[in-house]
């Protein structure tokens, strides 16, 4: 079966996490992703957080599957010549260097457009135009600057970053959407364009509901927040602990046997109250006017959840899920990474995949979470550094002698 992006060539100048997330998805959809890496060292993540000496790290291998790797010193003269050949050869260029890095190498957008007017040029940067445009950014900086940290955690504690990589992988996903839109537009116009995603913007987009709450706050306290009904609201959205971000209240409840991840998240929809009270043996609260409606429960949500927790404490998180889900009560156990890695259903759908690597042996990775019925993703391994240099350079027209000269010059 053919792949959705078969025939699309991507010049992948990405490193670390945000850019590689984007190009990995393009590769899963069938694009030929040619990752350009500095000779000898490669993407810095190859050697970061290594679990096996001298073997590409999981950091690298889990973000670069299905790609080809070439080494190229794009600051050398021969390297620059090869870069321009690659620009002519490819449909998309993706990069996430520090601001201005490609321009400093002489690869300006103006020149790129002249060389290949159809090229789509995707970039991740920390910030869009404005006072911070020239600054370097990593994941947690983006979480702090995009509104996630100020709204995550508990009110009486420090701002907290989340384990979900919304700054890096989140921005990479936004960039994928932009590149695909640009490819569709190009099919009508024949023209390429720039696609720019700032990490701050992507995080803010993912924190959209908190900007919603900021505006609601001007009209009164946020009744579903744990701070309610006290009048402790300031003039900014506070951290809401584990409260649900939607219109239905939810909270994390303890389960048996009381381990670090023995918890279940339970949501109380209006019709769910009667079901939950039935399960926990408090039928009296189904019609009691002090408890019967969402409005009267709002000021005492903590007590509502305490009632349900008395029951969840007697069950394991999976037992509790089974009982509640059968009744249609939305809920979910807190899953550890150990449990997710071993989850049979996720392995069956290839969301968790075991991959064979020539140097590290088998490793687990997260497969393509986007399932296309006519473009199945086979998640392959990540390339070794420079594994495809000669093949790719031959494909773009270099002779064996030219490749050898480039090697002698240290350009590859």
Interface residues toward ligand CAO, by CB under 6 A: 16-19, 36, 38, 72-75, 96-98, 101, 104-105, 124-126, 136-139, 168
Comparing CA positions, the residue from 128, 10, 139, 28 lying closest to residue 379 is 28
Choice between 36 and 182, CB closer to ligand CAO? 36
Choice between 41 and 88, CB closer to ligand CAO? 41
Residue 141 CB, nearest distance to ligand CAO (Å)?
A: 8
Residue 228 CB, nearest distance to ligand CAO (Å)?
A: 36
Residue 124 CB, nearest distance to ligand CAO (Å)?
A: 4
Q: 178: which DSSP letter? A: H
Instruction: Locate 361 and state its tokens.
Output: 């042996």
CA quadruple 52, 346, 19, 82: dihedral positive or negative?
positive
Choice between 101 and 370, CB closer to ligand CAO? 101
Choice between 6 and 103, CB closer to ligand CAO? 103
d(CA 142, CA 128): 12
Choice between 8 and 11, CB closer to ligand CAO? 11
Whether the CB-CB separation of 74 and 80 falls below 8 Å is answered with yes
Choice between 85 and 347, CB closer to ligand CAO? 85
Length of the chain counted residue by residue: 412
Whether the CB-CB separation of 133 and 99 falls below 8 Å is answered with yes
CA angle 305, 311, 312 (to 5 degrees): 80
Residue 191 CB, nearest distance to ligand CAO (Å)?
A: 26
Comparing CA positions, the residue from 174, 173, 176, 167 lying closest to residue 200 is 167
Residue 110 CB, nearest distance to ligand CAO (Å)?
A: 18
Whether the CB-CB separation of 382 and 64 falls below 8 Å is answered with yes
Q: Which of 56, 168, 201, 262 is catalytic?
A: 168
Residue 57 CB, nearest distance to ligand CAO (Å)?
A: 14
Helix axes 77-89, 400-408, angle to 10 degrees: 140
Comparing CA positions, the residue from 99, 216, 198 lying closest to residue 146 is 198
d(CA 186, CA 207): 31
DSSP string, 331-357: EEE---HHHHHH-HHHHHTTSEEEEEE
SS3 379: coil
Of the CA atoms within 13 Å of residue 120, those in its CB half-sphere come to: 23
* Number of helices followed by number of strands (H, E) in the chain: 18, 11
Q: Determine whether 157 is an active site residue.
A: no
Choice between 100 and 270, CB closer to ligand CAO? 100
Whether the CB-CB separation of 56 and 386 falls below 8 Å is answered with no
Residue 196 CB, nearest distance to ligand CAO (Å)?
A: 11
Report, as residue numbers or ranges, the catalytic residues: 168
């Amino acid at each position: 079966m053919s792949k959705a992006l078969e025939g699309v060539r991507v010049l992948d100048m990405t490193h670390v996490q945000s850019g590689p997330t984007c190009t990995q998805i393009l590769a899963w959809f069938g694009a030929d992703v040619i990752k350009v890496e500095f000779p000898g060292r490669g993407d810095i993540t190859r050697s970061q957080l290594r679990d096996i000496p001298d073997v590409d790290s999981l950091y690298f291998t889990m973000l670069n599957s299905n790609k080809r790797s070439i080494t190229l010193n794009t600051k050398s003269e021969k390297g620059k010549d090869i870069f321009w050949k690659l620009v002519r050869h490819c449909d998309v260029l993706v990069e996430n260097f520090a601001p201005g890095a490609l321009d400093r190498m002489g690869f300006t957008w103006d020149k790129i457009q002249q060389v290949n007017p159809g090229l789509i040029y995707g970039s991740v940067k920390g910030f869009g135009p404005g006072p911070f445009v020239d600054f370097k950014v990593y994941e947690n900086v983006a979480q702090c600057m995009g509104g996630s940290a100020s709204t995550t955690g508990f009110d009486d504690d420090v701002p907290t970053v989340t384990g979900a990589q919304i700054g890096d992988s989140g921005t990479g996903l936004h960039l994928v959407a932009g590149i695909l839109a640009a490819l569709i537009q190009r099919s009508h116009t024949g023209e390429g364009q720039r696609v720019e995603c700032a990490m701050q913007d992507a995080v803010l987009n993912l924190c959209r509901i908190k900007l919603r709450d900021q505006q609601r706050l001007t009209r009164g306290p946020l009744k579903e927040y744990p701070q309610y009904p006290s009048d402790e609201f300031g003039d900014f959205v506070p951290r809401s602990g584990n409260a649900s971000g939607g219109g239905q209240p939810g909270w994390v409840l303890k389960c048996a046997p009381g381990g670090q991840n023995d918890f279940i998240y339970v949501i109380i929809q209006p019709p769910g109250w009667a079901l939950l009270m039935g399960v926990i043996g408090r039928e009296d609260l189904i019609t009691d006017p002090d408890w019967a409606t969402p409005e009267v429960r709002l000021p005492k949500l903590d007590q509502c959840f305490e009632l349900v927790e008395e029951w969840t404490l007697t069950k394991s998180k999976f037992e509790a899920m089974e009982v509640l889900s059968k009744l249609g009560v939305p809920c979910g156990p807190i899953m550890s990474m150990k449990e997710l890695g071993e989850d049979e259903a996720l392995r069956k759908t290839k969301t968790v995949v075991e991959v064979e690597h020539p140097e590290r042996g088998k490793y687990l990775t997260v497969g393509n979470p986007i399932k296309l019925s006519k473009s199945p993703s086979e998640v392959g391994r990540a390339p070794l550094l420079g594994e495809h240099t000669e093949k790719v350079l031959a494909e773009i027209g270099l002779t064996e002698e030219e490749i050898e000269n480039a090697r002698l010059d240290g350009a590859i």
